[in-house]
Amino acid sequence: MSDLLERLRSRGWRLTSQRRVVAEVLDGDHVHLTADEVHARAAERLPEISRATVYNTLGELVTLGEVLEVATDGRAKRYDPNAHQPHQHLVCSACGTIRDVRPTGDPLAALPAAERFGFDVATAEVTYRGLCPDCA
């Protein structure tokens, strides 16, 4: 789990207690937390941490490519620490639960040149939607 912190330090990241706590919260498990949830969990360990710092830190982790920003609905963005393994998301239409999934093949391959309109296409994000077992 300290892979993340080590990588960050070796990149010259200034390691403050706030940043360490945010990184630890995200490193815990493959959840998909909102900025506010990250703040809440971080505040359990470091009560005075401010929302602004959480937003700043999340933004940097995204820029560094260590965390993915996920907009599954129109509400708050969620942050996905599982950035090292390509994966897609399966979202419950009822309760909003998110699971990481790995479809077969490369989604990019499904877009033929004739459908690329001169774009230099780099990535494909897939969001599967349906009802989870609990909501069905």
Partner DNA sequence: TTAGTTGCAAAGGCTTTGCACGCGC
Partner DNA sequence: GCGCGTGCAAAGCCTTTGCAACTAA
Burial status of residue 78 (CB atoms within 10 A of its CB: 0-12, 13-18, 19 or more): buried
Interaction partner, residue 51 (a copy of itself, DNA, none; CB < 5-8 Å by kind) = DNA
Interaction partner, residue 50 (a copy of itself, DNA, none; CB < 5-8 Å by kind) = DNA
Site for a copy of itself contains 110 (CB under 8 A): yes
Interaction partner, residue 62 (DNA, a copy of itself, none; CB < 5-8 Å by kind) = none
Site for a copy of itself contains 95 (CB under 8 A): no
Coil, helix or strand for 79? strand
Q: What is the per-residue binding string for a copy of itself in 68-87, x denoting contact by CB under 8 A?
A: -x-x-xx--x----------
Interaction partner, residue 7 (DNA, a copy of itself, none; CB < 5-8 Å by kind) = none
Burial status of residue 33 (CB atoms within 10 A of its CB: 0-12, 13-18, 19 or more): buried
Q: Rounded to whole angstroms, how far apart are CA atoms 27 and 23?
A: 6
**Contact residues for 6 (Cβ-Cβ < 8 A; gap 6+):** none
Q: Rounded to whole angstroms, how far apart are CA atoms 30 and 13?
A: 23
Name the residue type at position 100. D
Closer CB to DNA, residue 16 or residue 94? 16
Q: How many residues does this entry show for the chain?
A: 136
Residues lying near DNA in the complex (CB under 7 A): 9, 13-19, 34-36, 46, 48-53, 55-57, 59, 74-77
Residues that bind a copy of itself (CB under 8 A): 69, 71, 73-74, 77, 90, 92-93, 99, 101-105, 107-108, 110-112, 115-133, 136
